[in-house]
Chain A
Amino acid sequence: MKTVGIVGASLAGLQTARELRRQGHDGRLMLVGDEQHRPYDRPPLSKDFLAGKTGEADLALEAEGEDLGIEWRLGTTATGLDVAARRVELSDGTTLQADGLVIATGATARSLPGVAGLDGIHTLRTLDDARALRDDLSKARRLVVIGGGFIGAEVAATMRSLGLDVTLVTSGPVPLAEVLGRQMAEAIAARHEERGIRIIRGASVTGLTGTGRADGVLLADGRHLPADVVVIGIGVIPNTGWLRESGIELGDGVICDEGGATSAAGIVAVGDCAAWLDPASGRHHRAGHWTGARQQAAVAAVTLLSGGEVRPGPQRPTYFWSDQYDMRIQFSGRTQRMDSVSVEDGDVTGDGFLAVYRRDDRPVAVLGVNRLRLFSRRRRLLETEPVQVG
């Protein structure tokens, strides 16, 4: 393989470039990204960066002096793909043709219909989003966060710590319930409420009020929540629009096997845009987290360079972290198939705890709050114990 083109210049794209070089690819390496910025780290955007504790230089994903011999095409959007020719059409009218292609276009934050044109409403996915949100929040007193996912919970926690009046609106029973399960999500929610965040559960947002600038959120039960700034954190949509006409198989993301191979020869997909096969469940799903993108990069580089000959080893269970107030939250595994959860260290009302989720007495997931050491041990057990299929 002489040339490789990577589309999407963020964590998954850059990490795949690194892996390709590490695994011996010494031909041309072209990296296309629609953002103007060099690859940067997104997790701090809802945490220390939003709080003003770290600056933009700290976000760089490249190490100082790192030189991978990449031909950068930043500020350029991929608009189409010819799978047979492995040719990508670009927004500047040129094309990029390569022996191997990596799709790493990530995801975009979902928004609510009918909010276009109103100021004071934000989603948070990019550095530009974070800059705009930070500016707007510096003048705000009341923040309403719509959405019960991690980004919403983190923004709420960060801004409450800075003294804002914060309301968190979720359509589910409690924020984070989908990932952490109801019981543990309640424990985390209690921490938010202790700090003075108002959580509105089971709510359905019917609209936003204000002319020119949003001044509140309307709920189906008639309540009106006044706001200076509204943050919408209702999930993401994989960036696969540019592939729609290409014939490459798409589902909730680019459909891949367990090695990252797409339905097209010589093309792999990694990170938040890719729905990899989970052999244990037989389903495709998107990782959607930092370490998932990193691990997939290593595997997909092998797949690409070996032409699919080298098969991947077993996947490690999902892992992600989140920081909210002084809580260092870590999670690994899946709660979907659990039938019980027990706190095995600490206390959900104390300074931290460790909880293990089980199905038929076998651990399937582990959650740690300020329990780094114990969490690592428990996580390792999860990773080395063969996962029960079914």
Chain B
Amino acid sequence: MKILACPLAALPPGEAFRIEAEPPIAVFHTEDGELHAIDDTCTHQDASLADGWLEGCEIECPLHASRFDLRTGRADAPPAKLPVRTHQVAVEDGDIYVLPSDTPPNLPPGVTVKGTT
């Protein structure tokens, strides 16, 4: 089921929007005008990637600087070793929507999705 993120006009290039879903999702608007959505929680520890440093199509984790490719979810180098999930993004009538992936997330140790066991 698709989730409404925010109006496109509210997310300028270079910015991120965090959807408080379970688990949270981060939507990025790159400087090149692309939109990407990935799991917001770093796979190494509990840090929000929406708070990270966006450079091109990569987001650098704000805590220990692993970089995730927004297109594939892959981490470039440890400490994060597992990829984040990527999600489909669509813009309809000026609003950004995300279609969450149905694969299981790679959450860091100690973080669980509420509502599951």
Bound pair (A, B):
yes
The interface of chain A, by Cβ under 8 A from chain B, is 15, 18, 41, 60-64, 290-291, 294, 321, 328, 330, 372-373, 375-377, 379-380, 383
**A355 CB to nearest chain B CB (Å):** 17
Contact A376 B52 (CB under 8 A): yes
Chain B residues lying within 8 Å of A383, measured Cβ to Cβ, are 53
Contact B78 A63 (CB under 8 A): yes
The contact of B51 among A18, A60, A372, by CB within 8 Å, is A372
Stretch at the interface among B1-9, B30-38, B58-66, B89-97: B58-66
Contact B64 A290 (CB under 8 A): yes
Chain A residues lying within 8 Å of B77, measured Cβ to Cβ, are 15, 18, 61, 63, 294
Chain B residues lying within 8 Å of A321, measured Cβ to Cβ, are 63-64
Chain A residues lying within 8 Å of B81, measured Cβ to Cβ, are 63-64
**B53 CB to nearest chain A CB (Å):** 7
* A–B pairs, 30, beta carbons within 8 Å: A15-B77, A18-B77, A41-B79, A60-B78, A61-B78, A62-B78, A63-B75, A63-B77, A63-B81, A64-B81, A290-B65, A291-B64, A294-B65, A294-B77, A321-B63, A321-B64, A328-B63, A330-B63, A372-B47, A372-B62, A372-B63, A373-B48, A373-B51, A375-B62, A376-B48, A376-B51, A376-B52, A379-B62, A380-B53, A383-B53
**A9 CB to nearest chain B CB (Å):** 15
Cα distance A85–B48 in the bound complex, in angstroms: 48
A321 closest partner in B (C-beta): B63
- Counting chain B CB atoms within 10 Å of each CB, the highest count among A60, A61, A63 belongs to A63
Contact A372 B78 (CB under 8 A): no
Cα distance A375–B47 in the bound complex, in angstroms: 12
A15 closest partner in B (C-beta): B77
Contact B62 A376 (CB under 8 A): yes
Cα distance A15–B77 in the bound complex, in angstroms: 8
B55-92 Cβ-contact flags toward A at 8 Å (1 or 0): 00000001111000000000111110100000000000
Contact A377 B78 (CB under 8 A): no
Cα distance A291–B62 in the bound complex, in angstroms: 11
B67 closest partner in A (C-beta): A294
A66 closest partner in B (C-beta): B77
Chain B residues lying within 8 Å of A379, measured Cβ to Cβ, are 62
A319 closest partner in B (C-beta): B65
A375 closest partner in B (C-beta): B62
B62 closest partner in A (C-beta): A376
**B25 CB to nearest chain A CB (Å):** 16
A295 closest partner in B (C-beta): B65
Chain A residues lying within 8 Å of B78, measured Cβ to Cβ, are 41, 60-63
Cα distance A62–B79 in the bound complex, in angstroms: 9
Chain A residues lying within 8 Å of B79, measured Cβ to Cβ, are 41
Cα distance A18–B77 in the bound complex, in angstroms: 9
Cα distance A97–B79 in the bound complex, in angstroms: 32
